[in-house]
Structure 1
C-alpha cells in the first residue's frame, strides 16, 4: 500500500495542515514523511486515531500485526459479548478444573455444614460476640471502650 493513498483514504483527502493539527505531528515532519513515502508506525497510528480510523486496523494494514488478531477482542469486550449461557459454561468449566486439582471446591456442602456446627465461639477468636444475654452499654458500671 502506498503511503499517500492510505493518507488520502483515511483522512478523506484532508490537507497536510489539517492532518498535522489533528494528529499532533509537526507539519514539517509530516511533509517530509509524505515526500519520502516513509512514515513511522507511531505517526500512522496517530493519524488513524485522529481521523477515527481504528488503530488496530492501521497496524494490520501496515503489516505490524497479523490480521488474525483483528477478530480477537480485549477481555472486557469479550465478556460483554458473551451470552449468559457462555459465561455460565465457562464458570462451570473452571469449577470442574478446580475439582480435578483438589481445590476447596471438592468439599461437599454437608461436610462444610458439619464443620461449621462443630465450631465454638472460642474458635472464632477474641473479637467474636459472646452469648451473654445483655451487653453492657455506655453508662453501665462494667462498660468499657476497649480491651
Structure 2
C-alpha cells in the first residue's frame, strides 16, 4: 500500500499538523518522512496509537512486518491473558466434538457427556471393611515388622546373598 494512502486512511480529514499533535510529534517530521516515501516504524506506531488503531496492524499495513510474523504472537498473548476457565472451556469446546467424531459416538444415548452429567447425583462411598480403624484419623501407629512377610530385606545376610549371586557389585 502507498504510504500516502495509508496515512490518509488513518487520519481521515485531519491535517498532518493535527495528526502530529495527536501523535506527540511535529507536522514537519511527518511531512519530511512522507516526502522520502516512507514513515519510520516509530512514527507508524505513534500515529496508530493516536488514532486507536493497533500498532501491529499499522506495521503490517506499511510493510515493516509480515502478517504471518504476527499470528503466533497474538496467540501467545491471548493464551497468556486467558483465565483458566476460558482455557478449559475452549479445550472442552474442541475436544468433545473431536472425540465424538473419532470414536463414532455422536448422538449415542449410552455415551455420558459432561452436559448429560450436570444433574447427576453424587454419592459418598464409605469404606466397606467392617471393624477396621479409619486410616485417615491422623493417628500414628507403631510399624509392625514381621520378617516372614517379606521376600527380601536389607539385612547383612541378604546383602551377602546378593553378593554371592553377583548382584549389586557397583
SS of the residue aligned with 1:52? Answer: coil
Q: Does 1:21 align with 2:18?
A: no
- Displacement after TM superposition at 1:24 (Å): 0.9
Partner of 2:105: none
Alignment: residue pair count: 96
Take 2:63 and 2:44, find their aligned partners in 1: how far apart are those partners? 12
Take 2:43 and 2:85, find their aligned partners in 1: how far apart are those partners? 31
Deviations 1:61-115 (A, max 9, x none): 2333331324734134444893543468xxxxxxxxxxxxxxxxxxxxxxxx87x
Take 2:56 and 2:85, find their aligned partners in 1: how far apart are those partners? 19
Partner of 2:117: none
Take 2:50 and 2:57, find their aligned partners in 1: how far apart are those partners? 14
The change in CA–CA distance for 1:10 and 1:25 in structure 2 (over 3 A counts) is: same
Q: What is the correspondence of 1:39-118 to structure 2 with a 5 Å cutoff?
A: 39-68=39-68, 69-70=70-71, 72-73=74-75, 74=77, 75-79=79-83, 82-86=86-90, 118=140
Take 1:85 and 1:8, find their aligned partners in 2: how far apart are those partners? 42
Which protein has the bigger helix share? 1
TM-score (norm 2): 0.45
Runs of 4+, deviation exceeding 6 Å: none
Whether contact under 8 Å (1:23, 1:46) holds in the other structure is yes
Take 1:19 and 1:63, find their aligned partners in 2: how far apart are those partners? 21
In terms of Rg, which structure is larger? 2
Q: What is the correspondence of 1:27-42 to structure 2 with a 5 Å cutoff?
A: 27-42=27-42
